[in-house]
Amino acid sequence: MGVNLCVTTLNRQDALVECLRSACAGTMKPDAIFIVDQANRPDLLAPAIDGLPCFVATINLGHHVRGCEASAINWYLMSVPEERVIAHDDVVFGPDSLERFLTTDGAFVIDASQGVLTYRDHCKNMAGLYDETISPGFYRYCDVDYEDRLAWYGIQPVVVDCGIEHKPNGTMRAYTPEQHAEYYRRVEIARFNYELKWLRPLTPGGDTIGRAEWRKNHEPYSRER
């Protein structure tokens, strides 16, 4: 089984160092690391990837999709074989985190900190790819849309606590007031696109795990969307 670690980074190259080093120090190590560099700053990636004991590829998808989570996820789904471990750049793996994560059965597995997930090929075969029109150039609610589509086929997230530490929102703490305003403007664009597609409000529940609990108590969605 090949272990392929997939990480997207924009402006948290500082966090990426600990993410990759901790992954490579575990009982199960990545065979390859794929980094979608949305900043297109290989100079900033160098401290994180220099000396890593496995194959490393950095990918620049182009300025037109800078910041677009859906484009990065779709590249992983189309270009990286199982096992693909898709991680935030601000997670730290424990000594046996990768091993515990990848020995968990399920088509859609997510760790309890919600910083690492895998969509195994069954997800792609049933639901296809992320919808890149939900959140153009951004990262909100495209995952909700994909989870909703997976639920049509009875694919719910399997949650595993495998000792991964997630340090979210470090980027937003450094935002200027103008950047905060732009963030919330883009959130509302993504919300509008999602609700226009589904003709209903966002799936409630807060996070991936909470939304999954809500779905279990409601009728399956129409497969026509």
Please list the alpha-helical segments (H only) found in 90-198. Answer: 97-102, 121-127, 142-152, 170-173, 177-198
Strand order in the sheet with 32-37: 55-59, 32-37, 4-9, 84-87, 116-119, 108-111, 158-160
Question: CA geometry: angle at 122 spanning 152 and 30, to 5°?
Answer: 130
pLDDT, one tens digit per residue, over 125-171 is 999 999 999 998 888 999 999 999 999 899 999 999 999 999 866 66
- pLDDT digit string (tens) for 25-57? 999 999 999 999 988 888 888 988 999 999 999
Which CATH code fits 4-215? 3.90.550.10
| Mean pLDDT taken over the chain | 90
Q: Look-up: residue for tokens 């029109």?
A: 133
pTM greater than 0.75: yes
CA 225 to the chain's CA centroid? 22
In this structure, of 111-125, 189-203, 206-220, the range with the lowest mean pLDDT score is 206-220
Residues 47 and 16: their CA atoms lie apart, in Å, by 9
| Three-state DSSP state, 224 | coil
Domain residue spans of the chain: 4-215
Q: CB–CB of 57/67 below 8 Å? A: no
